[in-house]
Amino acid sequence: MFKGLGVALVTPFKGAKVDYDVLKELLFFHVKNGTDFLVILGSTGEAQTLSLKEKKDIIKFSVDTVGNQIPIMVGTGTNDTKESIKLSRLAESYGAKGLLVVTPYYNKPPQRGLIKHFETIAKSTNLPVMLYNVPSRTGINLFVESVKKLSKNPKIIGIKEASGDLEQVKKIIDQTHKNFIVLTGNDDQLYETLKLGGDGAISVTGNLVPKELKHLIMNHKHLNETDFIKYNDLHQSMFIETNPIPVKAALIHMGFEVGSPRLPLVKIDKKHDKLLIEALKKYKLVKHD
């Protein structure tokens, strides 16, 4: 269920409120384009600036809207284990199919604290848990040995590995059992991750080109690196500023009125927006002037 192309979905806003009409549009865009699963309330979804009520409403709306057409995974990780359990149980009660749980940010716990954190959350719910390692955002790296230990827990099904360290990716794949799912969180490392034996991605760029990225993943054994490299300019444009600033701007240029990010994030800088538009034109995602 959680292999292939997962897309870290943006949260659309209209003014100060979540725009459910546009959210519905985005959900069906991914159903139509064959996205394997969606991750809501992650970093790209600006979960840190959503209220608990908004999170509840987004989960319920997303699950009710797409039903069994596409699995919904919910980002429920915080830097408070108790709060993460609360959100995980909430996601389960609304019909989510899985949980994405990030390493606790700011606290900087030791590895034994990280292991205990994930094990405690996994024990609290019937849903499968996917680990999420993104040191650039959290200030802490989940070591290979810790992932290896956690992979033995039947409730913990895999990892979104976004350390950017391909040697670490290789070790995780080599040292965990064959059913443990390894997804890259770095779009520009998709080819390398698949070549090492990984299972796909949880993607930001997939907000824009889900059909194309799914094709690459499904057919990677018959494709070569150049087929993947041709999307690198688009991947890089998604991080010209802090995610999700560029991807929200890109979606607006493509006709999805997702609104601006919430403070402390802001609209894309004008000079970066010009570069973003040029990248979108290159991939025929917006019309040429």
Among 55, 97, 160, 214, which one carries the catalytic annotation? 160
State yes or no: 59 annotated in a binding site. no
Give the separation between CA 86 and CA 191, rounded to whole angstroms. 36
Per the CB < 8 A criterion, the answer to whether 8 and 205 are in contact is: no
pLDDT band at 288 (very low <50, low <70, confident <90, very high): low
Domain positions in the chain:
4-220
- Asked about 94 being catalytic, the answer comes back as no
CATH code of the domain made up of 4-220: 3.20.20.70
Alpha helix (H) residue ranges in the chain: 20-32, 52-66, 81-93, 111-123, 135-138, 144-150, 166-175, 190-195, 210-218, 225-229, 232-237, 245-253, 270-282
Nearest-CA neighbor of 45 among 269, 266, 248, 240? 248
pLDDT digits (tens, 9 = 90+) for 127-169: 999 999 999 999 999 999 999 999 999 999 999 999 999 999 9
Is residue 105 annotated as a catalytic residue, yes or no? no
Q: How confident is the model over 63-118, as pLDDT tens digits?
A: 999 988 999 999 999 999 999 999 999 999 999 999 999 999 999 999 999 999 99
What mean pLDDT do residues 200-229 have?
96
Give the integer Cα–Cα distance in Å for 100 and 43. Answer: 11
Residue 35 marked ligand-binding: no
pTM of the model: 0.95
Catalytic residue among 55, 94, 132, 214: 132
Q: Do 39 and 8 form a contact (C-beta atoms < 8 A)?
A: yes
pLDDT at residue 49 is higher than 90? yes
- Other residues' Cβ atoms within 10 Å of the Cβ of residue 251: 22
Query: Residue 261, SS3?
Result: coil
